[in-house]
Amino acid sequence: MTDPAITGYDSFDAELLAKIDGEKLSVGYHNPFLVSDPGLIWLVLKGSVDIYAVPLTDGAVAGTGQHLMRVSEGELIFGMPAIPDDTVADGRSQIGLRAVATMGTELFRARRSDIEQDDFDLIVVDWIDRWIAALAEIVAPVGGPRPTGYLEAEPDIAFTAGAVLTPQRGDTIWVTLDAGYATAIGRWRLTEDTAGIPLPLAGNMWLACESDCRLTGAYTPTALFRGMLWASLDSFHLAVMQVIARQREEAGASETSRLERKAGANRATFNASLRRIGGILTGPEAEGTVTGTAATGDPLFDAASLVAQAAGITLTPPTDDTDAAPRLLSDIVRRSHIRVRRVVLFDDWYRRDNGPLLAYRAADNRPVALLPDGVDRYVMADPADSTRRPVTAALADSLSGEAHVFYRPFPARAMRVREVFAFGLRGLRRDMATIVMMGILAGLIALATPIATGQIFASIIPRADIPGHLTIIAGLVLAALGTATFTVTRSFAVLRVQTRMDASIQTAVWDRLLALPVPFFREYSSGDLADRANGINAIRELLSGTIMQSVMTVLFSLFSLLLLFWYSWKLAFIALAIVAVLLGASLTIALAMVPLQREMIGRGGRIEGLIFQLLTGLSKLRISASEPRAFAKWAEQFGITKEITYKARKLAAIQAVITALFPLLASIVLFASISYLLKGGEQGEGGFGIGDFLAFNAAFGQFSAAMVGLLGTVSVLIAIVPLYERVRPILETVPEITDGKADPGAIDGTVEFSRVVFRYNPETPPIIDGVSLTIDSGSYVAFVGASGSGKSTLVRLVLGFEQPEAGGVYIDGKDISGLDMQAVRRQIGVVLQNGRIMSGSIFDNIVGSLPLTIDDAWEAARMAGFDQDVEAMPMGMHTVLSEGAGTLSGGQRQRLMIARALVHKPRILILDEATSALDNRTQEVVNASLARMNMTRIVVAHRLSTIQNVDRIFVMRQGRVVEQGDFNALMALNGEFAELARRQLV
């Protein structure tokens, strides 16, 4: 019989254990043992045991193990048979299980037949359910297919082909296939040959119906009562061991493949380096060879790298510790923090400059890079066979009809306007050179007018030289044609520069906005932020147009100024003095306008924010008859803005008057100066004739016109100052950087707070004050407490929107400060009380941009208790909603947002007072759906009636957890929670 010493363990039923004939063992990591005898069991009395899959040779451990699970105190280990190792053909090798205990662990080893007695019904059910749940985590990790329904403990249930079924959270269902074909966890095929043999499903395990099928489900007590459990458990153990062996084989193959890819990439890099060195003597590499990037062995990544390199983007290669290189484009762009857009290739797309494209061959869906080669030509680079071919009509027809465009982001650091402008000019060197060259040529040709004027009055007219006159006229006509040609060429180049700058900067700005940390958005209203974001585009427009004009102005003025000095250096200096006075006066006025423009632009942003808020709350304004007060609020701000605008326009009018008077005043000064110089004899004796003066005056006209244009440029540059001050927060705020942070993979859903302290303002008391708690995977918890107690702040900390001042927040045991939080948030569904509905159909609101079907939307609607409301609408899922969804009731809006959060089957669901507007019947439907979900559910609630069925309730006060437990336990405690409940019942 059993050792009497075990009767001292309160966690076990000593009376039942006394019926087991076994022995107690004291073990540790120094004496591991095999658990390969199906006839034995090991009960963990104290401590814990880690189970490893190890290779065996002649029954002895022959290599390193793969960790599978940890068995804790109160749990049972069942012996599982060792199976042959198919990767070794010596007939002596096997895969078995090895147990390694922590120090101080105590076990009770016995025969399994002892617990097959009828006296052990209840305790055996718990042991088996926990054991199968642990094995389920091994054979079916998180990340399986999206379930379409749940398995029930009911007989003969019919399911259609394509159904994906999973047990509800915490259930173990023994499934028997009565008819049809099905596959469990993608590995075990159930057919008529396996009919009648129950298969246990728990945790993340799933069953996919390959055809219409009929299933019978039973809980563990029922399977035990019917006498089918132990034989089915043996079959399950054998199947699990086969999966474990297959996983080891796949892991080994994956590691071999990774090493081969790494070696291949190293060889390709080495060969490319040799080709570049050889190219020093032999010239460029022969056409037809792909160069420029080191191959990784992944055709998709290599093709994307070529496209990215042409677009000025650096892709992050797959890390060496991954099992496989990224196979989806979304994985590549997510890892590299860039954005892509899908485009359609039609007609003669390859004869236009569409930028570098990632496309696919229609025959085998092989990725290729389409790279511009000049203005109207493309080449196709295929990394798979290292070829590069010009794109012809026939080659274009061999491609699929879609491609992807890559968009270059801003660097993940603070940016200045100069850097933004340089960012937009990348790849435009040829167009900029064209603009400068055309400006030089046009400036040189412009000298023909003053020179011809001087010649006509100096020699042609006095001598009545009609042939010479006609020659000059012909020359001026040719000069005009040349100027027109150069101007048209320059205009097209400017248009290309502005268009491509707009495309690159605008996309980078919105990418930057989407990547900014959440606390940034607390500081600005939506309208004000939109106005600031548009300010970047305004600066771009001003800079692109202004810089081009400045280049032309400087070139024109330079040649005209040289011509002035050619004719008379003294008059040239006088002309410079006149222009300096004009520039000084205008610059003074422009500087005086800067404070007014700063105030005007700032108030304009505040008005945009106010207008957005008023339009958003227009229905509430009408209900409360507050339209006059809203108008008065807007009119006050608008009136002040117009007063400032009036002052600025007065200064602008003064500047316009000075600019208009400048030619007349300059002519007066020049005539007076030449008169003075001629009277003094300084320009006499034929040194400066009438023709020279007229030529000088014409050149001065060109120079002064250029200076007036330059003055406008300077005024625009000064006006950029207040615009830059508005957009500086967007450019200087560092985005949420995920480089170097770990990919969380598929999360399990365990959330832990460890001594977390947080405050929004360093000068205020902490909102969260030393909170430590753990939310187990798959559990259903609620946070309650008075307003301001810190409930919603805990939610923001889980989402990574805020960083704790002290302590840490952990998901699956990993500190979120070291995780890629964007990857984490993609696996979290969030519903807020004040969430908004976007304009579009109900389907669009539920699915969003996810690649899901209308069936997925209906399933999410059913889980949220929203399906009947949608069915009652005229167009069902395609019913169009306006922004804000004023046609829906408050409860319908909340259920729609719950469906939106559920549609992508998140691992963690957060409901922040998201059911406050639901009636009791709908609340019951939603609660029942939430209770069945196999995910972690976190609820922030004020209505305590909505959380009666949660696993645990945390009661918060002043940033601390003051009570915790389930609903009944807290009510029995008669503490703060009970007082809250009584107040709601009154």
Q: What is residue 287's predicted lDDT score, i.e. its pLDDT? A: 42
Q: How confident is the model at residue 223 (pLDDT cuts 50, 70, 90)?
A: confident
pLDDT value of residue 57:
87
**Where is the domain boundary, 703, 732, 761?**
732
984 burial (CB, 10 Å; 0-12 / 13-18 / 19+) is: exposed
Question: How much is the mean pLDDT over the chain?
Answer: 79
| Tokens read off for 855 | 């069936």
Please enumerate in sequence order all residues whose Cβ is within 8 A of that of 461, keeping only pairs 6 or more positions apart, or say none.
Answer: none
Does position 986 have pLDDT exceeding 80, yes or no? no
Q: What DSSP string runs through 789-805?
A: SSHHHHHHHHTTSS--S
Whether pLDDT at 290 is above 50: no
User: What pLDDT is stored for residue 289 in this prediction?
Assistant: 45
Q: What is the mean pLDDT of residues 334-357?
A: 84
The CATH number of whichever domain residue 79 belongs to comes to 2.60.120
Q: Which of 352, 385, 407 is the last residue of a domain?
A: 407
Q: Which two tokens stand for residue 21?
A: 């004939």
Segment 947-956 shows an average pLDDT of: 87
Residues 727 and 757 in one domain: no
Q: How many CA atoms lie within 13 A of 890 on its CB side?
A: 10
Q: Are residue 508 and residue 607 in the same domain, yes or no?
A: yes
pLDDT value, residue 916: 65
Q: Is residue 267 part of a domain?
A: no
Tokens of 884: 């804000």
Q: Is 904 helix (H, G, I), strand (E, B) or coil?
A: coil
* From 428-432, 450-454, 596-600, 951-955, the region with the lowest mean pLDDT: 450-454
Give the pLDDT of residue 555: 62
The reply to whether 580 and 708 lie within a common domain is yes
Q: In this structure, is residue 743 part of a structural domain?
A: no
Q: What is the arrangement of strands in the sheet containing 182-184, beginning at the earlier edge strand? A: 149-151, 164-167, 207-209, 182-184, 188-190
DSSP 8-class letter at 724: H
pLDDT of residue 985: 62
Q: Which of 310-314, 355-359, 501-505 has the lowest mean pLDDT?
A: 501-505
- Pairwise CA distance, residues 524 & 305, whole Å: 38
Cα–Cα dist 899/861, whole Å: 5
* Same-domain status, 941 and 804: yes
Is residue 419 predicted with pLDDT exceeding 90? no
> Do 593 and 508 share a structural domain?
yes
For residue 324, pLDDT beyond 70: no
pLDDT of 280 > 60? The answer is no
The answer to the question of residue 340 being in a domain is: yes
Rounded distance between C-alpha atoms, residue 333 and residue 620, angstroms: 43
What is the arithmetic mean of pLDDT over 650-655?
A: 80
**Exposure string over 12-51, b if 16+ CB within 10 A, otherwise e:** beeebbeebebebbebeeeebbbbbebebbbbbbbbebbb
Q: What is the mean pLDDT of residues 611-618?
A: 73
Among 352, 380, 407, which residue terminates a domain? 407
Report which residue type is found at 197: I
Band of residue 4 on the pLDDT scale cut at 50, 70, 90: very low
What's the CATH number where 325 sits? 3.90.70
Of the pLDDT bands very low, low, confident and very high (cuts 50, 70, 90), residue 41 is: very high
Q: Are residues 847 and 897 in the same domain?
A: yes
Q: What would the pLDDT profile of 507-527 be if each residue is shown by its tens digit?
A: 888 888 888 887 787 777 776
Strands 936-940 and 908-912: parallel
User: What pTM does this model have?
Assistant: 0.63
Q: What is the mean pLDDT of residues 379-394?
A: 84
Instruction: Find the largest Cα–Cα distance for the chain.
Output: 140
Same domain, 865 and 772: yes
* CATH number of the domain encompassing residue 973: 3.40.50.300
Rounded to 10 deg, the angle between the 121-139 and 229-282 helix axes is: 20
Q: Is there a contact between 442 and 486 (Cβ–Cβ < 8 Å)?
A: yes
Dihedrals phi, psi of 61, to nearest 5 degrees: -65, 130
Rounded CA separation 933/928 (Å): 9
Q: Are strands 40-46 and 105-111 parallel, antiparallel or unpaired?
A: antiparallel
- Give the mean model confidence (pLDDT) for residues 393-401: 87
Residues 168 and 87 in one domain: no
Q: Among all chains, which residue has been given the structure tokens 């460890």?
A: 754
Over residues 297-314, the pLDDT tens digits come to: 678 888 888 888 888 888
Q: How many domains does the chain have?
A: 5
- Contact predicate 64/259, CB 8 Å: no
- Note whether 765 and 800 are same-domain residues: yes
Average pLDDT of span 54-79? 87
Q: Which domain holds residue 172?
A: 141-252
Tell me, yes or no, whether 125 lies in a domain. Answer: no
124 belongs to a structural domain? no
* 163-177, 210-224, 225-239, 519-533, range with the lowest pLDDT: 519-533
Compute the half-sphere exposure of residue 957: CA atoms within 13 Å on the CB side of its CA.
Answer: 8
pLDDT tens digits along 563-572 = 777 877 777 7
Q: Which residue has the higher pLDDT, 393 or 633?
A: 393
**Same domain, residue pair 639 and 559:** yes
Average pLDDT over residues 378-392: 84
Q: Is residue 266 included in any domain, yes or no? A: no
Q: For residues 403 and 431, state if they share a domain.
A: no
Residue 532: inside a domain, yes or no?
Answer: yes
* 762 against 755, higher pLDDT: 755
Within a domain: 966: yes
Q: Is 488 found in the same domain as 357?
A: no
State which of 13-27, 260-274, 778-792 shows the largest mean pLDDT: 778-792
